[in-house]
Amino acid sequence: MSLRVPSITLLLTASLALSGCATVLIVTQTRQSDAQRRVDQAVDVIYQMKSQPATGSLLRDAKGLLIVPDYTKAAFVIGSHSGVGVLLARHDGRWSDPAFFTLGGVSFGFQAGAEVGPVAYVLMTSRAVQTFEDRNVRAGLEADAGLTVARFSGDARIASTASKADVVVWTGEAGLFGGLAFNATDVVTNSTLDEAYYGSASVNRILDGSVHNRLADELQLALSTQLARQ
């Protein structure tokens, strides 16, 4: 004796399956748009950096660059900071495609208010870049990770001194975030955005140039023209 599944059940099952596929597609497209938005914002940050004196020498000598277009710092005595950034590494004069990272952490000391603005971590040494390449899940740009971190200044003399640090931190506006430190204590691979942008790709493969998304060409061009002009 054979059992027949009612046709309405089959239709319902098919409908649910199609609905599930549509949901997955929407989620994927949303993540891809989110990733591209952050890459496009990073391009704007690069041109903002280019408009300031003394950034040219930093970028020429940089081994890598972590750009956080919307860095949020909120605090009163005990503070927090967060943001999603894109990281590029430079090998033999060529910049890799961007890998995505989420920043977070807690800091102590007198702080007040909340501010949002662009922040860029210019990685001046191979050691700073390896912090991300060697630790695929979590990293830190701070003294506890064996790195020296300096705040960028538009003064050429001070900037020259800062360039000897492992990491130089640039902020988008004068006075933004006051004189607070910008040690990135909790930097985590954003595998969700990496996967949305490249498919299956590890951070190492992205940073060593093994994978490419042509939609990141404008970001690489912005960095390359900066290096060529100054």
The answer as to whether 124 is a domain residue is yes
- Report the b/e string of 41-57 with b at 16+ CB within 10 A: bbbebbebbbeeebbbe
Residue 3 lies in a domain: no
pTM above 0.85, yes or no: no
The answer to whether residue 13 is domain-embedded is no
Tens-place pLDDT, residues 24-55: 557 678 989 999 999 999 999 999 988 887 78
Question: Is 103 inside a domain boundary?
Answer: yes
156 pLDDT band, cuts 50/70/90, is very low
The number of distinct structural domains making up the chain is 1
Within-domain flag for 17: no
Q: What is the pLDDT of residues 88-125, one digit of tens each?
A: 999 998 999 999 999 876 454 444 555 668 889 999 99
In a domain, 143, yes or no: yes
Dist CA 168 CA 38 (whole Å): 21
**213 lies in a domain?**
yes
- Domain for residue 16, yes or no? no
> Residue 184 sits in which domain range?
37-229
CA angle 222, 125, 57 (to 5 degrees): 45
